[in-house]
Amino acid sequence: MSTPVRIAVAGALGRMGHVVSALVQARHGAELVARFDRPESALEDGLVSQYAALAAADVVIDFTTGAASAALALHCAERGGPALLIGSTGLTPAEERVVRAASRRIAIVKSGNFSLGVNMLMGLVRQAAAALPPSQYDIEVFEAHHRRKVDAPSGTAFMLGEAAAEGRGVDLFKVQVKARDGVTGPRVDGQIGFSVMRGGGIIGEHSVSFAAEDEILTLSHSALDRGLFARGAVEAAMWLAGRGPGLYDMQDVLGFTAPPLADG
């Protein structure tokens, strides 16, 4: 009988933390060994300290904030493990650098979305962007989430924008338009725009439209259950256990790409 993968859950008091914890407990071959939250959180309801959680786990699943995820990645790297799965979005460039540096010492899966459907959508967007010329088709990424989401555009929206930019062979940073207000003038060929809605209890809506003068092609994905992301994260954590250092994403987990090497 194989040894179960020992999983700890960060941000255990949050909505995703509760869902992930329940799914880990139900997953054959996995063992929920620790749950922890902010340092000031009372150690009750089965919570332990971060130190105890890292000592007990093979993999930590983290859906918290960019700052908390970067700090956790640093702590995991300093002690040589455990591996880390990051589902937080809205990381600053400095926080991204911390995570990338940590991946030189430990295995990290980081993704803005752990849905199989969204990752398939990324591939379709990349193909469409490569086939439809920027002089004729404008690209707009739309996303909608619940009113409590603190970052915008979403990490998934940026993933879709990056897929479109890759299809066209351009740098997203140079062509993205994240806000429009006032007299903006006519749209520039090749721009990739982002539109955002925040309201109610929307779990996650994402679409990418390719708009020409005579037609509009829209590729979209709707999340109907928050457990969708948690299930993907748990499966990614199972895949991550025992991996060598590196920064991976869901394309690697699903076998769509060759595993990337950590920057050296």
Q: What sign does the dihedral 241-246-247-252 (CA atoms) show?
A: negative
* pLDDT value at residue 260: 42
Assign a CATH topology to domain 116-223: Dihydrodipicolinate Reductase; domain 2 (3.30.360)
What pTM value is reported for the model? Answer: 0.74
Catalytic, out of 110, 145, 206, 221: 145
Query: Is beta strand 204-211 parallel, antiparallel or unpaired with respect to 216-223?
Result: antiparallel
Strand-by-strand arrangement of the 30-35 sheet: 30-35, 5-10, 59-62, 83-86, 107-110, 246-248
Catalytic residue flag (residue 149): yes
- Domain range list for the chain: 5-110+226-253, 116-223
Per-residue confidence band for 38, with pLDDT thresholds at 50, 70 and 90? confident
Condensed to tens digits (0 to 9), the pLDDT of residues 3-15 reads 999 999 999 999 8
69 pLDDT more than 90:
yes
Higher pLDDT, 249 or 139: 139
Residue range 5-110+226-253 forms a domain whose CATH class is alpha beta
Please check the confidence at residue 264 and state whether its pLDDT lies above 50. no
Determine which one of 18, 75, 146, 149 is catalytic: 149
Token duo for residue 206: 């994402």
Name 113's Cβ contacts closer than 8 Å, sequence gap at least 6: 119, 155, 156, 159, 204, 229, 250
| Residue 178 bears catalytic tag | no
What pLDDT, on a 0 to 100 scale, did the predictor assign at position 42?
67
Average pLDDT over every residue of 88-110:
95
